[in-house]
Amino acid sequence: MLKISNLEKRYGKNEPVLKGLDLTVDGSSVVSIVGASGAGKSTLLRCINRLVEPTSGRIQLNGLDLVDLRGAELRRARRKIGMVFQGFNLIDRLTVMENVLSGRLGYVSLYRAITRKYPQSDIDRAFHLMERVGIDHYANKRADQLSGGERQRVAVVRALMQEPEILLADEPTASLDPKTSQQIMSLLQALASEMDLPVLINIHNVTQARMYTDRIVGMRHGQMIFDGGPKDFNQDALDAIYGGIESPDEQGQTIETAPAAEGASV
């Protein structure tokens, strides 16, 4: 269970990006976080694995306080938090297998990491997961030779290699074409239930948020202003979140049954 309470983040002396945010995620629910650019979605996710230092507040993952961890303790906690990025963040010049195995860096020794002598169990797990998402035949290809959707699958597998207790996805589909982005979303949804894994997804595409997630959290100016199921997420909620800002997805309202139209919002 992830429990965030009264989380605040400010960069320097500027207006806080997150203003006393509370959020609890339990079980294997897939939660999408929607909001305009600059609402603080990315900062929120990065506070959880401390790629960004929170200014104040508490973040607990399965009872472990994350905010005060230092050094080796922090690294041990990060192993349990998988993360998927908008730009995939793969190491282009390494092979797919090396990229996948890098998810185990928190577990193996420096010697094993440098010499690529990973334990057989890690290699088995890597092949198993790559087969699951359909990229096992690319094991020895360089990561930069894959298409966008395949690269994001590599990134997902890398995150799952960590044996995470939660998966964070920061706009995982924003760099992908509409069809591929749907595939990645349904993959994340399926993996969450298969592995009993809570998943937090920052997403711009409101239609996809409705289709693939169990719960939608709406953010605006660093505060949570909506929290509910996809069915509760109506025009009022959309206006509240994007009000005054041209919603990137308003067309999706009327044609949400035609998924091909989603591309317009990406």
Partner 1 sequence: MGEEKDMVDMTAHTQERTWSRYSRQERLTRFAVYAITLFAIVWAVRDIDIFWPWVWDAPNQIQSLAVRMWPLDFSGWMAIGSALMETVHIATLSTFLTAFIALPVSYIAAQNTTPNKVTLWIGRLILVSSRSVNTIIWALLFVAIFGPGVLAGILAVMFRSIGFIGKLMGEAIEEIDKKPVEAMQATGASKLKVVAYAIVPQVMPAFFAIIILRWDINIRESTVLGLVGAGGIGVLLQGSIDTFAWQTVATILLAIIVLVILGEAITSVLRKKVI
Question: Can you give the binding site for partner 1, defined by CB under 8 A?
Answer: 49, 51, 75-79, 81-83, 85, 87, 89-94, 98, 102-106, 110, 113-114, 155, 158, 162
- Residue 78 or 215 having the CB closest to partner 1: 78
- Residue 11 or 234 having the CB closest to partner 1: 11
Task: Locate all alpha helices (DSSP H) within the chain, ordered by sequence.
Answer: 41-48, 71-79, 96-101, 110-115, 120-133, 148-161, 178-194, 206-212, 235-242, 250-254
Task: State the minimum distance, in angstroms, from the CB of residue 156 to partner 1.
Answer: 12
Task: State the minimum distance, in angstroms, from the CB of residue 93 to partner 1.
Answer: 4
Task: State the minimum distance, in angstroms, from the CB of residue 172 to partner 1.
Answer: 13
With CA atoms as reference, report the closest residue to 73 among 102, 50, 53. Answer: 50
In three-state secondary structure terms, 230 is: coil
Task: State the minimum distance, in angstroms, from the CB of residue 178 to partner 1.
Answer: 23
- Residue 138 or 226 having the CB closest to partner 1: 138
- Residue 84 or 187 having the CB closest to partner 1: 84
Put the strands of the sheet holding 2-9 in their side by side order: 18-25, 2-9, 56-61, 64-65
Q: How far apart are the first and last CA of the chain?
A: 31
